[in-house]
Chains A and B, each alone.
Chain A
Amino acid sequence: MNIGVIIPLVIFLIGIFAIGFIASKQMSGEGGFLQQYFLGGRELGGFVLAMTMVATYGSASSFLGGPGTAYTVGFGWILLAMTQVVTGYFVLLILGKKFAILGRKYNAVTMIDFLKARYNSPLVAILSAIAIIVFLFSAMTAQWVGGGRLIESLTGLQYTTALFIFAISVLVYVTIGGFRAVALTDAVQGAVMVVGTLVLLIGVIIAGGGVPAIMQDLINENPRLVTPYGADGTLTAAYVSSFWILVGVGVVGLPQMAVRAMSYKSSRAMHRALVIGTIVTGFIMLNMHLIGVFARPIMPGIDIGDKVIPLVALEVLPPWLAGIVLAAPMAAIMSTVDSLLLLVSSAIVKDVYLNFIKPEASETTVKRMSFGVTGILGIIVFLLALQPPELLIFLNLFAFGGLEAAFIWPVVLGLYWKYGNKYGAIFSMITGIAAYIAIHFYNTANGNLLGVHTVTLPVLLSLAAYIIGSLAVKREAYQF
């Protein structure tokens, strides 16, 4: 492998490391250790808030898997990817100021804290904690595998060594720096993602001889590549539209996004983040997937989707520039993993240990627990990622859509509907997850039910469950 590619990557890793370390020094005592460690003391400004939301949300699939599919499917897949622009403004506008105000009022550090206070129910808290720990733990492991594989393919190191480098670089800054380190490194990683996207887009267009030439090549190969229906004409409008739920509006229900929606300093910061978040999300999604399609005439015949972006970057750019560009998918994976690691850790320390096991634990104990749990979790994930067990791969399939179906209504209607209560919330979470798993099996066996993505029906069913559960058992208005 080319040493020119490796040097920028190494500089990137060292840079991230340094920022995480500096952030850990800034942890002030204000607001207590938990607020500082798991929520950055609610002090995020607009730019950092926007970037940590985009970077947490943008993962391996935005930079490797998605563009790889666009390479195979054509413009239809870019159309699908653009459903994600909505997340840039929707999450912050919907959870909005009410979530931030109530979060402060309830003194909530995690999304589960909010649910527990809103529904005044330990059962809601424990169910949520289990869902988060199980699903996000699996999702995190899958991303670590992706990170290890990426380093492996770029450097030619062995997978174990590559994974080790990846694990150490993430683990150290998350463990010692907490949320603020995660958010600050996310901001840098987000910036790397934007720059990488732009450079690679320009490189690909030049290599392809301009957009019209690329388009002509695509039409000559298969005119369907430039239609919204995919290379084989099977991408239906209903299926593509259902991604508005999975990767669009449903993202409101993801705990890693929700916790960010209560971490900002002021409504001014939130306003800035709305604008920056929308622009950056759209920019990355549009251009990365365009690159995937444009890569097709330049480098035909790539079988493995995940390899399209690394291969095309190495093909069209000088090695040192390719190294900078390929730091972008690395940044995307790291910024997702660091948030998930901290979130799972907060679910264990704050939501399980402090809520149910030892509420009277001293500040020192909590501190030791937080560092310890985060570190140990990281080591477990590393060991599992060496040889991912079948069960984890299986659970990861449900992580995204399952969590959305479980949490979207308890969070959103918990904020805005005064008759929502714990019976509705519990019924909704169980229905959402159970329906997701059931429909997943149905769809795998029989093709997509009603031609839409698995997530669609569970989200609707959990809405019905929330309303029925809330009104049927005990109809009582909640005083916010």
Chain B
Amino acid sequence: MTRKQTNPAQATDPRFKIAHREAIIGIVLAIFNFIWWFGFAYGLGSRPPEEYTYIWGLPDWFFYSCVLGFIIMCILVIVITKFVLKEVPLDVDPSNTDQPKEGPAKQ
């Protein structure tokens, strides 16, 4: 059976290239997030509790893993959103995607 979509743009939609890149950024962010979270939690947290130091009153492993880790993720997301992610039109008609300007400038 043939179930090829009739696609007006024969070549791959250029917006998808951007989308694929951004999905990979999402995966990399999550992996970084996990390593940071896991590393500090179990790296520092597996010492006996008497050896913990306290930052802002919180156990050091927890502060680095969950508090600082969260702040760092927020900063990373802000920076990436501002400087790396690209704005693309989302509408069906991709005919003028190469000139991303506001206003429906078609026909």
Contacts and interface: CB of A to CB of B under 8 A. Distances in A.
Interface of A: 75, 78-79, 82-83, 85-86, 88-90, 93-94, 96-98, 100-101, 104-105, 120, 210-212, 214-215, 219, 223-224, 226-229, 237, 241, 244, 248-249, 266-268, 271-272, 274-275, 278-279, 282, 286, 416, 478-480
A46 B28 CA distance: 23
B30 A226 contact: no
B91 A104 contact: yes
B77 A89 contact: yes
B29 to A, nearest CB: 6
A274 B89 CA distance: 17
Counting from the closest, the 5 A-B pairs by CB-CB distance are A211-B57, A93-B26, A98-B19, A228-B45, A223-B49
A77 to B, nearest CB: 11
Contacts of B87: 266-268, 271
A272 B30 CA distance: 19
B33 A93 contact: no
A82 B69 contact: yes
A461 to B, nearest CB: 21
Contact of A416 (B5, B23, B38): B23
- Main SS class of interface, B: helix
A228 B91 CA distance: 47
Contacts of B74: 275, 278-279, 282
A79 B26 contact: no
Given A79-B41, A228-B42, A215 B19 contact: no
Given A96-B22, A282-B74, A480-B13, 11 more contacts: A89-B26, A93-B23, A98-B20, A104-B90, A226-B59, A227-B45, A241-B38, A248-B30, A271-B81, A282-B73, A416-B20
A282 B58 CA distance: 17
Given A215-B57, A278-B77, A104 B92 contact: yes
A352 to B, nearest CB: 22
16 contacts: A82-B65, A82-B69, A82-B70, A97-B15, A97-B90, A98-B15, A211-B57, A219-B49, A228-B62, A229-B45, A248-B30, A267-B85, A267-B86, A267-B88, A268-B87, A416-B20
Nearest to A81: B66
Contacts of B26: 89-90, 93-94, 96
- Main SS class of interface, A: helix
Contacts of A88: 77
A385 B83 CA distance: 49
A268 B59 CA distance: 39
Contact of A75 (B16, B62, B90): B62
The interface size bin for chain B is 35 or more
B90 to A, nearest CB: 5
B106 interface: no
Nearest to B44: A228
Interface of B: 3-5, 7, 12-13, 15-16, 18-20, 22-23, 25-27, 29-30, 33-34, 37-38, 41-42, 45-46, 49-50, 52, 54, 56-59, 61-62, 65-67, 69-70, 73-74, 77-78, 81, 85-92
A268 B90 CA distance: 10
A278 B79 CA distance: 13
Contacts of B19: 96-98, 101
Contact of B7 (A219, A275, A479): A479
A275 to B, nearest CB: 5
Contacts of A229: 45
B18 A228 contact: no
A227 B20 CA distance: 40
Contacts of A282: 70, 73-74
A393 to B, nearest CB: 32
B67 A237 contact: no
Give the interface centre of A85, A98, A228, A241 by most chain B CB atoms within 10 Å.
A228
B33 A85 contact: yes
A37 B46 CA distance: 52
A98 B37 CA distance: 29
Given A86-B33, A104-B91, A286 B67 contact: yes
A249 B23 CA distance: 12
Given A79-B65, A97-B19, A226-B52, A286 B70 contact: yes
Contacts of B13: 101, 480
B60 to A, nearest CB: 10
Contact of B59 (A215, A248, A275): A215
